[in-house]
A and B are shown apart, each in its own frame.
Chain A
């Protein structure tokens, strides 16, 4: 799949179809998710209306992790096979992942204040998610700090690959450490989801909708990055001739 799309013409053809499809699906699913989550789903027996924070917090958390996995995977492909499109993908994902990781922490903090009585605790789940955000920011900063493009891409790819270690720590922190305030997994469990269908439906709608939205964003940024690289190459040629 990646070798097929590594050709810029093929990628352009794919993106022209995928971008509007992702955009329309994201819009429909998020509108449906917002309506069901805010107005149609019942209040929680223990958490009251604050349960509705879950419908933005969990999709943001999911994307914070999934986008890092995609960025790490693309960095690996670039590092090993030198596919430029993989580097474009990794660089395009970073700021989007950073925003979703930040939204996860902010919405989680608001939710924590209402249910735990505190904005923040240094438990393993919250701390590892903060590290996830710092890894995204570190990737962006490292790329920006190195002027030579190939060196910047390779250095950032190494950081992204090393940072993959944090993903299982975030995911399993609630099982590996005792005394964690954050609740355990409720959706992806071996014995099935532990939440009621009336809460699972808006969560699924928002989760899938946000995933399509992130897909739209990444593809859109990748197309812009390809245009920028073309323009930069033309500029260099012009400057070399002058």
Chain B
């Protein structure tokens, strides 16, 4: 039947889409964690300055 894609065909497209999604989501999580860490150290620095 025309228009039918065989099982296993284009499988690399499936893996690439999952890999790119993992990369995007993983990168975003890393960015969010770094942002949190930077915000905490910025606040700590300012609080220390305020105490002095």
Query: Which residues of chain A come closer than 8 Å to B3, judged between CB atoms?
Result: 46
| In-complex Cβ contact of A50 among B10, B39, B50 (8 A) | B10
- Restricting to A92-115, which residues have a CB under 8 Å from any CB of B? 95-96, 99-100, 102-103, 106-107, 110-111, 113-115
A228 on the interface (CB 8 Å rule)? yes
Q: Is the interface of B mostly helix, strand, loop or mixed?
A: helix
Query: Which residues of chain A come closer than 8 Å to B47, judged between CB atoms?
Result: 234
Question: How far apart are A26's CB and chain B's nearest CB, in angstroms?
Answer: 10
- Restricting to A69-118, which residues have a CB under 8 Å from any CB of B? 95-96, 99-100, 102-103, 106-107, 110-111, 113-115
| Distance A78 CA – B32 CA, assembled complex (angstroms) | 23
The chain A residue with its CB closest to the CB of B52 is: A238
Contact A52 B14 (CB under 8 A): yes
Known pairs A48-B5, A107-B21; A53 contacts B13 (CB<8 A): yes
Contact B10 A224 (CB under 8 A): no
The chain A residue with its CB closest to the CB of B23 is: A103
| Distance A212 CA – B1 CA, assembled complex (angstroms) | 41
| In-complex Cβ contact of B10 among A45, A114, A221 (8 A) | A114
- What is the count of residue pairs linking A and B with beta-carbon distances less than 8 angstroms? 105
| Distance A96 CA – B29 CA, assembled complex (angstroms) | 10
A56 on the interface (CB 8 Å rule)? yes
Interface size of B as a range: 20 to 34
A164 on the interface (CB 8 Å rule)? no
Question: How far apart are B5's CB and chain A's nearest CB, in angstroms?
Answer: 4
Contact B21 A224 (CB under 8 A): no
Interface set of A (CB-CB < 8 Å, partner B): 34, 38, 43, 45-50, 52-53, 56-57, 60, 95-96, 99-100, 102-103, 106-107, 110-111, 113-115, 213, 217, 220-221, 223-225, 227-228, 230-231, 234-235, 237-238
Interface set of B (CB-CB < 8 Å, partner A): 3-11, 13-14, 16-18, 20-21, 24-25, 27-29, 31-32, 35-36, 39-40, 42-43, 45-47, 49-50
